Chain A
Amino acid sequence: MSIERGIAQGPQQPRMVRSPDWGMMEGLAEACSPERSLAMFRKMCLTRYFDLRVRQAQLDNDIECLIYLSVGQEAVAAAVAVVMEGCYVLGQHRGHSVYLSFGGRPERLADELLGMSTGCCGGMGGSPPSHDFERKIVAHNGLIGDQVPVAAGIALAAPGERVICFFGDGAAEEDYVLATLGFVATKKLPLLFVCEDNDLSVLTPTVERRNWSVVDVAQGFGLNAVDITDDPWLIEYWTTTLADQLPAIINIRTCREFWHNGTGSDNNAEWSRFDLTKAKLTEIGLRDKARAIELEIKTFVEDLWNERLQRRSAI
């Protein structure tokens, strides 16, 4: 199957293609099994309600470290994770969604953010290095894009393993990220890159930082590449398609709801993928099941945080 290019306007106008339906294909949600649709939604709910609770914990002064929330971007990791189970995965600094979607233990992440020794980094790392190495989730050191060459090294050193590496549209500009794309293409390593493109580097939009697109550059190196919006069924489709055509990259237009770090909001999210997903689930007859999942996850997260906060108080 040939891979279509997703850039309509060309590299001079990378911002023009941001929309909630960029690259959309008809009938994907309807064709997806209900189990998989609900599995994706479950992961989206976990990320969303976990991170909303993290935000509240910081507002309550229970969390003092810097936090990088995935709220708004939940669908990206959730949809990739339902396809690429069992792979080594490297998230970016905004990595709670990757951690939670790929099976990282929520209590260990909560403990980490609370500065407890039972945290995934023993309280040493805070938000960006969240990892669960026993479950193949590799840590990030906080410097954007650093994980990209590390992911290439993992793929190189572990024949037979597939590797997924998430990074942001800002990290894509790091010279070592671009060099790694070339290396991975040259060596034909089984690596799927996922660019979580929220169009913001802190608060500087892409159009002010560069005049090229990640997909154009990746294709120039010889990677299979698509540029799409963050609809979970669309991501699921392309992840499934590209999983057999690695190395590849998916640039996914998504919206960050809160600050680069912290609890505030400094940009108006152009769309809410969470609300759009719920609407679609209703449309395909899964409203009640989705509501039940949402309620279950909300309760789970609240109980989890109450329990972890009590544990910390008891120390």
Chain B
Amino acid sequence: MERTVAETIRDISREHIAKHNGILLGQCLTAVGWVQNTVPAQAEGIVELPMTDVSGAGIAVGAAIMGRRPIFIIRFQSLLWLNASPIVNHAAKAKSVFGYPAPVFVRAIGSEGDSTGPIHTNCFHSLFMHMPGLPVCAPMTPNEYVQIWNWYMTHDDPLLVSEHRRSYTSRQEMPDQVHHDAHITIYAMSAARFNAVEAVEVLGHRGVRCNLVHLLWLKPFDLTQRVMEPLKASGHGIVVDSAYEIAGASQSVAYELMYATGCPVKAVGQADRSPGVAKRLENGTPTTMRIVDTVEMMLRDV
């Protein structure tokens, strides 16, 4: 049986510690569940940090300077705000300003629902796409995780990995879906990819044929033929993401696509309001039906 995403992360971490003198740092790593089963249940190579956000990230950056290629775990992306400074001001600038690298692998875990409300409904990769020197990716499948890990180990940049709890139990790969007669192309990032897959199915039943292009790398975002051609052929696009829509990854990618192709592309992400705890007040990844409605609205306006 194929591994889940969580099992893949755990195996990579274990091998990194055993074979590469790697080090893994974070808060409450050895608590119940070992960070949703993504951390190997062992003492070797694992550093339990005190609850010192900001300082913790700086410690990880110091380990990176010494070549230990640390895995720095942020259990909730809400905490990225506190940990951002050493990552963007030191690690991301090190190569271009200082001339030596500080490759730290930042595992930033997104979550939503289950009463996480305003505290831990979070997906803030857009914030980090803003900063130079810091590639950003959002792997949602086992093979994608292996791919971005191999990239990290063969480059000397820090890497912001926007994970999402929703992916951890998944064993599925998510290939692009491209049709010669599609009405629209959906570009999907982070956990929005799971909803986008469902939306494509719903829309298919309603007679709307969709291309679906999965985006693993948010920055750099390369306008490759794979990315551009489906949009050019379908003439319309939407970009869906788990993060806030306003000034976020979805709007940024939509802009790039529109500018490159001249096709209208709508961005769909979290609404511009704080999420609430109550079910009716949640504000997470755009739901399947919100994606469906947006597509139908776009095509209605044609």
Interface on A for B, CB 8 Å cutoff?
120-122, 124-125, 129, 131, 133, 138-139, 141, 143, 146, 148-158, 175-177, 179-180, 182-183, 186
Interface SS of A by simple majority = helix
Q: Contact mask B77-97 → A, CB, 8 Å, 1/0?
A: 000000001100110011011
Given the known inter-chain contacts A146-B90, A149-B57, A182-B52, please indicate yes or no for A157 contacting B100, CB distance below 8 A: no
Q: Could you list some 9 contacts between A and B, CB below 8 A?
A: A125-B98, A150-B62, A152-B58, A152-B59, A153-B58, A153-B62, A157-B65, A179-B54, A183-B50
For the complex with contacts A150-B58, A157-B66, 20 further pairs of A-B residues with Cβ separation under 8 Å are: A121-B97, A124-B96, A139-B94, A141-B90, A143-B85, A146-B58, A146-B90, A149-B56, A149-B58, A149-B61, A150-B62, A150-B65, A152-B55, A152-B58, A153-B58, A153-B60, A153-B62, A157-B67, A183-B52, A183-B59
Residue of B nearest to A133 (CB): B100
Total contacts A to B, CB within 8 angstroms? Answer: 106
Asked whether A153 lies within 8 Å of B99 as measured between CB atoms, the reply is no
Would you call B68 an interface residue if the criterion is a C-beta within 8 Å of the partner chain's C-beta atoms?
yes
Most chain-B CB neighbours within 10 Å: which of A120, A121, A183? Answer: A183
Interface centre among B63, B68, B89 (most CB of A within 10 A): B63
Q: Say yes or no: A176-B63 contact (C-beta < 8 A), given A121-B99, A133-B100, A143-B89.
A: no
Q: Is the CB of A131 within 8 A of B59?
A: no
Interface pair A150/B94, CB less than 8 Å apart: no
Could you say which residues of chain B place their CB within 8 Å of the CB of A149?
Answer: 54-59, 61-62, 86
Q: CB-CB < 8 A to A121: which residues of B?
A: 97-99
- Assess the B55–A183 pair: CB atoms within 8 A: yes
Q: Is the CB of B62 within 8 A of A156?
A: yes
**Residue from B23, B64, B99 within 8 A of A122 (CB atoms):** B99
- When chains A and B are docked, how far (Å) is the Cα of A149 from the Cα of B64? 12
**B96 and A176 contacting across the interface, CB-CB below 8 Å:** no
Asked if B96 and A180 make an inter-chain contact with CB atoms under 8 angstroms apart, the answer reads no
Q: Which of A125, A139, A148, A158 has the largest number of chain B CB atoms within 10 A?
A: A139
Minimum distance in angstroms from B135 CB to a CB of chain A:
19
Asked if B230 is at the interface of the complex by the 8 Å CB criterion, the answer is no
Is B70 on the interface with A (CB-CB < 8 A)? yes
User: Are the C-beta atoms of A156 and B65 separated by less than 8 Å?
Assistant: no
Interface string of B186-212 (1 = CB under 8 A from A): 000000000000000000000000000
CB distance from A298 to the nearest CB of B (A): 31
In the complex with contacts A121-B99, A153-B61, A157-B63, A180-B52 CB distance below 8 A: yes
B228 at the interface (CB under 8 A from A): no
A146 to B65 CA separation, bound complex (whole angstroms): 14
Contact B90 A175 (CB under 8 A): no
Q: Which of B49, B64, B90 contacts A183 (CB 8 A)?
A: B49
| Chain A proximity of B248: nearest CB distance (Å) | 26
Beyond A179-B52, A183-B49, A183-B52, whether A152 also contacts B97 by CB under 8 A is: no
Bound-state Cα–Cα, A125 to B90, Å = 12
Flag if B61 contacts A150 (CB, 8 Å).
yes
Measured in the bound complex, the distance between the Cα atoms of B64 and A121 in whole Å is 19
Cα distance, A179 to B90, chains bound together (Å):
18
B47, CB-defined interface residue at 8 Å:
yes
Bound CA–CA A128/B199 (angstroms): 52
User: Chain B residues with Cβ under 8 A from A152's Cβ?
Assistant: 55, 58-59, 62
CA A175 to CA B50, docked complex, whole Å: 13
Q: Please tell me if the beta carbons of A129 and B60 are within 8 angstroms of each other in the complex.
A: no
Chain B residues in 8 Å Cβ range of A156? 23, 47, 59, 62-63
Q: Which residues from chain A contact B60 at a C-beta distance below 8 Å?
A: 153
**Closest A residue to B56 using CB positions:** A149
Give the complex CA separation of A27 and B61 in angstroms: 43
Within 8 A of A (CB), among B23-69: 23, 47, 49-50, 52, 54-68
Residue of B50, B54, B61, B96 most packed against chain A (CB within 10 A): B54
Contact of A180 among B59, B64, B66, B94 (CB under 8 A): B59
B residues in contact with A129, CB < 8 Å: 97-98
Chain B: minimal CB distance from A93 (Å): 13
A143 contacts across to B, CB distance below 8 A: 85, 89
Residues of B within 8 Å of A133, CB to CB, are 98-100
Chain A residues near B47: list those with CB within 8 A.
Answer: 156
Alpha-carbon gap, A138 to B58, bound state (A): 14
